[in-house]
Structure 1
């Protein structure tokens, strides 16, 4: 993925930031893997491409569910994340550093998978048109994307905490960003225009565990892992601490069983080749 906004520079700083929080991020997002992998309908050995594979956590979940004889390749634009995925995944998959919006593989795939990776293309129409060439006839894709920001608990709480101390610009729904397809009709329209067939979406509602021993540590993790927190870097210490305290209070309100469990809505979009 090639981003036009620096806060989503996955080939550079954002990829390294995600790598540095990889254990926690993969643990937090793991509950999404089961419904997402189920949407791939892995009912026979197949060739699978994972788009924006990150550190390989979902790759391993796909490999565990795929029938014997399946072949899995993960693609990511971040060299840091490709290196991490290669080190973590062992022999279950291979990983390729590539800008999937432009890259053309030598062979087509039976499945295209992406968990929270297709929201950042600078030219989504061109990117999905290119990905259409990746999918073999009769193949299937499943893309998981975040719902509206107000229904993604940890994102809403981060934004509210930061907005309480610094002014945040309104989100641009057409710009790269994690909740770009909070209305999944936008993504479905792009897939239809790219030539995919039968694009549809269903919502998954669940809760994600913020990995930390205390609400304060949960707030620190969320601030360290979120690009939304960038405006705090230049804020006075008192404002930074006020935002942290507000976020810790929100985490405490969701605390049970040793974690802050944040409610989320995820849209799982499927289509055929």
Structure 2
């Protein structure tokens, strides 16, 4: 989820943010094993105050609140108004002690030393100045507090996440080409870059563990997912019906390798990054 102020703000407060809200149930199901990794990490740190960065529609924040109980206070922050609104609705329905803040975590003024633990599920790769962002998160964390984040490894190691754009590019030649180290989904793919960012921001004892997480969701949701999410989903918003149908048909075929019966399955190649 986006946390950068300018271009990312426009992106996540329009079509991309609305698409995440509409696909919320599928995305939360898909990434539940990653959510579990983060919840377990926070619980093992005996956290009472937790910040979830780039919280999106709040799935991980709410899971933390359920696990940690009434004595804890969880806060989610994201730049996307549609996603924060959805997260607040869900928290209200469940009556959970959760706060959601619609703001850019790089610039938001947190009370110093507020949080025991900072977590993020794919929410920290979008900052325009990641060192400044992680320094801001560090000052919001108490002395001895912990950082636990999950980020994507490389695009090459995540063929499920790039299958749509590879298949669609001949029909959508204007699709953006991903650049190494740019803000975006795979911006934290390089281990050395991540270590440098987090260390320069003032965190210490930085540890990076490669994890390959099995993810799945129902095949019946695949067409909606591939036609709404990512670069291809955004591009389909501005093409004619014939082009749209042709792209969806071609992209769906590209996902055959990930479909078995009624399920879509893939492995998410990630880094689990921890620091103090």
Give yes or no for TM over 0.5. Answer: yes
Matches within 5 A, 1:1-273: 1-5=3-7, 9-40=11-42, 42-66=44-68, 69-89=71-91, 90-107=95-112, 108-167=114-173, 168-213=175-220, 217-235=221-239, 237-256=241-260, 258-272=262-276
Match of 1:219, SS state, is helix
2: CA distance, partners of 1:198 / 1:263: 28
In structure 2, distance between residues paired with 1:57 and 1:143: 15
Q: How many Å separate the matches in 1 of 2:251 and 2:137?
A: 38
Give the distance between the partners of 2:102 and 2:241, measured in 1 at CA.
Answer: 38
CA RMSD of aligned residues (A): 2.3
**Any gaps of 5 or more consecutive residues in structure 2?**
none
Q: Secondary structure at the match of 2:272?
A: strand
Aligned length: 269
Partners in 2 of 1:188 and 1:25 — Cα distance?
Answer: 28
Residues 185-229 of structure 1 deviation map (CA, whole Å, 9 limit, x = unaligned): 21221010010001121111123224442xxx5133222122343
TM-score, normalisation: structure 1: 0.88
TM-score normalized by structure 2? 0.87
Q: Which runs of 5+ in 1 are unaligned?
A: none
Q: Measure, in 2, the Cα distance between the counterparts of 1:7 and 1:170.
A: 20
How far 1:235 moved relative to its partner? 4.3
Go from structure 1 to structure 2 and tell me whether the alpha carbon gap of 1:96 and 1:172 turns closer, same or farther (over 3 Å shift). Answer: same
**Counterpart Cα distance in 1 of 2:139 and 2:150:** 20
CA-to-aligned-CA distance 1:132-181 (integer Å, 9 cap, x gap): 21111000011111111122232121121212323244312232211111
For structure 1, which segment, 126-135 or 37-46, has the greater mean C-alpha deviation from structure 2 after superposition?
Answer: 37-46
Task: Pick closer, same or farther for the CA change 1:173–1:36 going to 2, 3 Å.
Answer: same
